[in-house]
Structure 1
């Protein structure tokens, strides 16, 4: 599990956020008054099954989903409805790593061009951009000759490292990680998660780590928020959520996440199912 963050003052604060989507003539409420905070240097996990609202929250923070009501504050400034130049200025501090690394990388550009593009677009000289790109590739543990190659020449795990390098190249303060390891095999997942942890320790960057897998979140996050049907049903420290979950939906997610020791898995199942029966609260 990741170490504790360095500061407690929120870098990001979300208050009573509501997001609606139109489906034909009807309106679907994707987020129902969600609140959360992320401190500098903190990794907050956002977990839930497909349709729970976790990716919608990430999109709202990035300005990719329209907010119906509520407020998003970044470093003390209201960014709820930031558009145009204001949103572009945020790009230096607020970045994203998507689930599909290949889909987020332009296949017609070399890796060096992909990484240099956000720097030169913001006024960095070509020489300084080349230096920054070389440093980024070293940080994500890719060889120097990566700059001359194309995304199609790399494995899925390597492409995700390239995507991480692109998100980091402008030294952001917060990265929204939207299911960044779910498309990778288990071994590659582990190495990429270790990379995320190492980078956070080295740079102090904050993460919103979106995932459907509590087992993944357990390895990297300081705190965890559990999403269910557009609401945050449980929030707490990693250790508390993964060892002593209070909400029946959280227990269901944990039961679906296997552990290495079959005896521990069986004991956990007996304990939590017994707790559910005693409490009389059915798992949703």
Structure 2
């Protein structure tokens, strides 16, 4: 029997104190599929991304990757499983260590899994070329580059382990139009070559219409969004 090919949040509930932000939500992202996710502020979109990215444990429910249930979060999850999902967040400044050069930022996930240094350098150069970061930009720290350049480095970092699923949480919202188009093109090309599943969160309906195979609405958290 063939195992399912999707990233799944199954009946996930998450609360902060007495406030429930996700209530029994089920969301599926298939391999090769782009799923758009919309909903009002505060409805739990970013929380759902954190749960799917294995950064936050749900209070109830479970995440599975291609039919394999995931117990735990972050480094408690085996490397072979956790590196299959990556996330790209809205604010590159909040997501980047200001002490690191862009090259070291891209290398972070590779070094975290003890990838040999010659392979790290080769992969960083490949990824930097993919997102059009020149050699002089790679040596700079976040304060010395634009938001667009830093977000491109964060995208390269997200793709370091060739994830099967990429979660984009308002990832182009803070970028100018040309950088938005570039980031979207890199993601689409990556998706096509790797048959990756992509989740796109945005308040921009036209972007969701252009990019998504289907759109789900998290405004009604009681719904099952498959």
2:101 counterpart residue number: 110
1:222 and 1:84, CA in 2 relative to 1: closer, same or farther beyond 3 A? Answer: closer
- Tell whether the 8 Å contact from 1:11 to 1:75 is kept in structure 2 after alignment: yes
Aligned-pair distance for 1:137? Answer: 0.8
Q: Deviations over 1:148-206 (max 9, x none)?
A: 22222222211111100001111111122111011123343233222221221233222
Q: CA RMSD in A?
A: 2.2
Tell whether 2:33 aligns with 1:42: yes
Are 2:198 and 1:207 aligned? yes
Aligned to 2:129: 138
TM-score, normalised via structure 1 length: 0.72
CA displacement at 1:65 relative to structure 2? 3.5
Q: Which residue of 2 aligns with 1:17?
A: 12
Partners of 1:36 and 1:154 in 2: CA distance: 36
TM-score (norm. length: structure 2):
0.88
Q: Structure 2 unaligned segments of length 5 or more: list them.
A: none
Asked which structure has the greater CA Rg, the reply is: 1
Q: Which moved more, 1:32-41 or 1:188-197?
A: 188-197
Is 2:72 the partner of 1:82? yes
Q: Secondary structure at the match of 2:174?
A: coil
User: Does the 8 A contact of 2:87 with 2:168 survive in 1?
Assistant: yes
| CA 86–128 in structure 1, closer or farther in 2 if over 3 Å, else same | same
In structure 2, the CA distance between the partners of 1:129 and 1:78, relative to structure 1 (3 Å rule), is same
- Describe how 1:220-235 pairs up with structure 2 within 5 A: 220-232=211-223
Give the Cα–Cα distance (whole angstroms) in 2 for the partners of residues 41 and 57 of structure 1.
Answer: 20
Distance 2:122 2:14 in 1: 41
Q: Distance in 1 between matches of 2:193 and 2:54?
A: 28
Which residue, out of 59, 68, 71, partners 2:62?
71
